[in-house]
Amino acid sequence: MKVKTMVVNAIVAALYVAVTSVIAPIAYGAIQFRISEIFNHLAVFNRKYIIGIVAGVFIANLFSPLGWYDIVFGTAHSLISLAAMVFLTRKTTNVWIKMGINTLMFVIFSGIIAWELKLAFNAPFWLNYASVAFGELVIMGLGAPIMKVLNDKIHFHKRLEAK
């Protein structure tokens, strides 16, 4: 892996952790509005961002009140959702469709987090699934146009390329 790719992914991971830390009271648990989830859309522009996103989730979850549950299940949720998005959009060039599918994957795979909450607290699976999925839908849905506007200015797909 090139140094530039490692540095950019380290910045993405640090940003994910910083934003999650600032909003910690609403970032963990059954009712989640983890604003840092908008960084998941970076993978739409370049799949190499998956490294930084997943690293950020892993590190942020080290500070979770749910402990190892969040480290394992939260990180798995992100990795599986991003991998599914990459697989399903491999022939798609439309950014809006990719972000829609990305959002949908995170919503669908929110069942992983609901299962985590079931194991950790014996919480009702379907209620938690609905709650976590709703949070993902809101954050990633509102985050998609923000990331599109930022990409038009910053060109995320070029940030990982060598000059």
| Cβ–Cβ under 8 Å, residues 39 and 16 | yes
Please give the radius of gyration of the chain, using alpha carbons only, rounded to the nearest integer.
15
> Rounded distance, CA 19 to CA 35, Å?
7
End-to-end alpha carbon distance in the chain? 15
Amino acid at 104: L
Quick one: CA dihedral 31, 79, 154, 12, positive or negative?
Answer: positive
CB atoms within 10 A of CB 87: 10
| Cβ–Cβ under 8 Å, residues 12 and 50 | no
The domain locations on the chain are 3-159
What percentage of the chain reaches a pLDDT higher than 70?
98
| Cβ–Cβ under 8 Å, residues 34 and 15 | no
Per-residue pLDDT of the chain (163 residues), as tens digits, is 789 999 999 999 999 999 999 988 888 877 788 999 999 999 999 999 999 999 999 999 999 999 999 999 999 999 999 999 999 999 999 999 999 999 999 999 999 999 999 999 999 999 999 999 999 999 999 999 999 999 999 999 888 765 5
> Rounded distance, CA 17 to CA 147, Å?
18
Residue 158: per-residue pLDDT = 84
> pTM higher than 0.85 for the full model?
yes
What architecture is the 3-159 domain classified under in CATH? Answer: Orthogonal Bundle (1.10)
Rounded to whole angstroms, the maximal C-alpha distance in the chain is 52
- Residue recorded with tokens 């739409």: 44
